[in-house]
Structure 1
Amino acid sequence: MNTRNPFRPVDETARELALDLIAQARFAALAVVHPDNGLPSISRIALATDSVGWPLTLISDLAEHSRALEANPACALLIGEPADKGDPLTHPRLTLHCTARPIPRATEEHTALRARYLSQRPKAGLYVDFADFRFVRFEIVDGLLNGGFGKAWKMTREDLCPPSDQRTT
């Protein structure tokens, strides 16, 4: 058994890379546990950030991943896409382990997130107010950052909190 630790100590470079990946992400792969069979399932979702830089999406209640998140809010996001050229494994990517938190409609939080989301994803204006769509904020538990070959970091929630984030929960 190989007991060698592949992770580097988290430093400011790793923090900046992870926060940049979150801030620049337009979409992500969302991993959930399927409620019917307990198997993992993955979907592509649009992604934006809330006012302090945490991941946010707008999803339909009709989507299978919505039902899965209702049954079990534990999920993971994979953020980061390879460039058009080169080995895809040399490009940075970030796995975030999260808890999905749906945002109730008719709240101040929903109103603020709606404005924020539409400023980042204006085409969502076509469906943002449909009755089956709702915002989901992803509360980060921890993450795994891969900066390319030989560059891996295991990151805590605190490592992934934007500097302006004052969250206590």
Structure 2
Amino acid sequence: MPAKAPFQPVDNEARSLANELIDTARFGALAVLSPETRAPSVTRIAVGTDLDGTPMTLISNLSSHTAALKADPRCSLLVGEPGPKGDPLTHPRLTLDCEAEFLPRDTDAHAALREHYLKSHPKAALYVDFADFCFVRLHVNHALLNGGFGKAFKLSASDLS
């Protein structure tokens, strides 16, 4: 007998929780494939959303995850942090399957995103204009939401818009 899939049908409550996790995230765990070893590599990054709500980050060209994203733009982003009490595994979290898009610095879109990002990440003003930093949009293909015990959902990109 095949095992029962653990996922529930996506409803408005799941969509709302997933979007809240994206909108409130200030950092997350980014998973990439190392171009040298082809092994997975995970790092913590600052996270925000662009003007239309797409997850994005500001990263340095000197980092290994930037090189990995330039070699292969497929990545995953985990957002959602445990609360101050209880088992960390009972708190909601969202894994986003994404495709990275680097935003050129010399565009009007970059200037608008810079202003928008600094509203939620004011300390980034210290380095946002360094030549090695760039904005990267993380376009979501699909997502897995763990809303707590017994609350697992597979969401499409359209569920998050």
State the TM-score, normalized to the length of structure 2: 0.98
Tell me how far apart the structure 2 counterparts of residues 48 and 156 of structure 1 sit (CA, whole Å): 20
C-alpha separation in 2, matches of 1:118 and 1:2? 50
Any unmatched runs of 5+ in structure 2?
Answer: none
- Please give the alpha-carbon distance, in whole angstroms, between the structure 2 residues aligned to 1:56 and 1:71: 18
Q: Distance in 1 between matches of 2:13 and 2:154?
A: 13
SS in 1 for 2:7: coil
1:123 — aligned with what?
123
Determine helix, strand or coil for the equivalent of 2:123.
Answer: helix
Aligned: 1:11 with 2:11: yes
* Aligned pairs (5 A) from 1:126-165: 126-161=126-161
Deviations 1:90-144 (A, max 9, x none): 1000000000000001101101110010011000000000000000000000000
Distance 2:120 2:49 in 1: 8
Cα distance in 2, alignment partners of residues 89 and 2 from structure 1: 26
Gaps of 5+ in 1: 162-169
Question: CA separation in 1, counterparts of 2:96 and 2:17?
Answer: 13
Report the counterpart of residue 42 of structure 1 in structure 2. Answer: 42
Give CA-to-partner distance per residue, 1:32-77, whole Å, 9 cap, x none: 0000010000000001111121111000000000000000000000
Q: Secondary structure at the match of 1:37?
A: coil
Percentage identity across aligned positions?
58
Counterpart check, 1:94 vs 2:91: no
Partner residue, 1:164: none
Kindly provide the amino acid, as one letter, of the partner of residue 72 in structure 2: N
Distance 1:132 1:142 in 2: 30
**Residues of 2 paired with 1:24 and 1:59: CA distance?**
19
1:32 equivalenced with 2:44 (yes/no): no
Tell me the amino acid that sits aligned with residue 48 of structure 2. A
Shift of the alpha carbon at 1:3? 2.5
CA RMSD of aligned residues (A): 0.8
Determine the C-alpha separation between the residues in 2 that align with 1:44 and 1:123.
16
Shift of 1:2: 4.2
Could you say which residue in structure 2 is the equivalent of 1:61? 61
CA distance in 2, matches of 1:83, 1:52: 28
Q: Which runs of 4+ in 1 moved over 4 A?
A: none
